[in-house]
Amino acid sequence: MAAFGAQGELALKLRALGDELDDVVTGLRNRDALAIGSARKLVASWRAVGEPLLWYPTELRSAGKLVLAAELERACFVLPAYQAGLRALMPTEHMTGEDVLALGEQLLYLESGEIDGEAFFMWLWSGNPSGLTVLLGHPLSAMPGMVLEQPIPPDEIWQSHTAAAMEEWNQLAWNAAQALPASALEARFRAPALTLAARAAQSDLGLSSHEADALRDACDGGPDSVNAQLALLAERPELAALLPPAEAAALVRAAISARLKLPMLLQCIGMMSEAAAAAAIAAEPRLMQHAPRLCHELLAGKTIRSSLLMRALLSHSAAGARGLCRALGTGEMRELEGDLISIVLGTCVDLGHGAELLLPLWAKRDAPVNARALALQAIGRDGPLFNQALAATPLSIDDPPELQALAAALRGSLP
């Protein structure tokens, strides 16, 4: 998955911009009258994007996204223009289709060898085309012995191409999901993926289990992939709610291992289904370092959480219980599953952690009334602790009647 939303729309607009530039040059090469239309479309597209076009040896990029990649029979003007010194283009408010046609014509001449790099550089340096702001660097001919002005590491090129491909694929997949029925999506997308996974598990692809695991981790667990998945889930809560438990657990493990976007990860866990959130929490003990924030995300969610979820939260260490009590003390919660939390807090008292965890919650007078009531009810399981709580933070006339009544009922039930 990758983030599409606003970022996906921008990526599609930028790819369309690159296609239109290539169409202009191709149209001029074929003496096609449609080149004028392509130039006008490019002007409109570029103004809508409003970002500079950065020129690299093998591709054009803008706003961190791929615009146009040079291939064997496509966009062959990219490299010679870079070698001639072109580094960036930015449209002005006066840019017209004629400016784009003039640029396309010079790129075509440069690609075909009708002019050399020095002539192209001088044409740009002289203020052409007038509707574009041009950034020039040193032509490669002026740098003997150098191939690139600033070599790009191969891993950066791979990562950028991978991210661009993920963005485009997920936009196409989302469009398909909106247009096709569930049965068609199952047959066209999910079934082939499951079949491929089954073949990999059965060594039907000629890969050992170690090689298959390594390939899966390289595809699904890299920083770019995890970042993209988190951004997508944060932007589309309805997708987070549909995430299967196994995939939720894998996502959490990958995110924690890569130390990526923890606030967004916790937010996404709060959006997941109860089963998926439980699997995600139970999958990674290191998540308990952030138990207070995690509890807040879960308790502030739109759905009431099940005992499965809270058991997962408390399964690894006392950090989960502390986080729960701290989250209960905030004033930003929507709805509490009182019976479940009573069980959890009562267990804290039974295990001897009531003074550490619950007395501070009871003493927090600005905490939600229902949270203080849950804390007092759990404290009432231990007579000495109950008396200690009321001695340290006695009830006053400012306390709500429900707390007064609860304290009276608990006091009457004590031996």
Could you read off the pLDDT of 84-107 as tens digits, one per residue?
A: 989 999 988 889 999 999 999 999
- The DSSP secondary structure of 267-307, one letter per residue, reads HHHHHS-HHHHHHHHHH-GGGGGGHHHHHHHHHTSSSPPPH
pLDDT tens-digit readout, 338-373: 665 676 677 777 767 788 878 888 888 888 888 888
What tokens does 247 get? 């995939």
* Cβ proximity of 268 and 235 under 8 Å: no
* CB-based burial label for 339 (10 Å; 0-12, 13-18, 19+): exposed
Mean pLDDT of 231-255: 79
What span, in angstroms and rounded, lies between the C-alpha atoms of 216 and 380?
Answer: 52
pLDDT tens-digit readout, 7-64: 667 878 888 898 999 999 999 998 888 888 899 999 998 988 888 899 988 889 988 8
What tokens does 250 get? 């894998």
* Cβ proximity of 49 and 140 under 8 Å: no
> pLDDT band for position 71 (50/70/90)?
confident
* Cβ proximity of 72 and 174 under 8 Å: no
Average pLDDT, the chain: 75
**Largest alpha-carbon pair distance within the chain?**
102
Tell me the angle at which helices 401-413 and 383-392 cross, rounded to the nearest 10 degrees.
Answer: 140
- The predicted structure's pLDDT at residue 260: 62
pLDDT tens-digit readout, 153-209: 555 555 555 566 556 666 666 666 666 676 776 676 667 667 766 776 666 666 666
What span, in angstroms and rounded, lies between the C-alpha atoms of 267 and 198?
Answer: 32
The residues that bridge with 135 in the sheet, in sequence order, are 88
What tokens does 26 get? 């191709």
Whether the per-residue pLDDT at 110 is higher than 90: the answer is: yes
- The DSSP secondary structure of 195-236, one letter per residue, reads HHHHHHHTTTTS--HHHHHHHHHHHHSSHHHHHHHHHHHHH-
> pLDDT band for position 325 (50/70/90)?
confident
- The predicted structure's pLDDT at residue 304: 45
Per-residue b/e over 248-287, b at no fewer than 16 CB within 10 Å? bbbbbbbbbeeebbbebbbbbbbbbbbbbbbbbbbbbeeb
Helix, strand or coil, per DSSP, at residue 91? strand
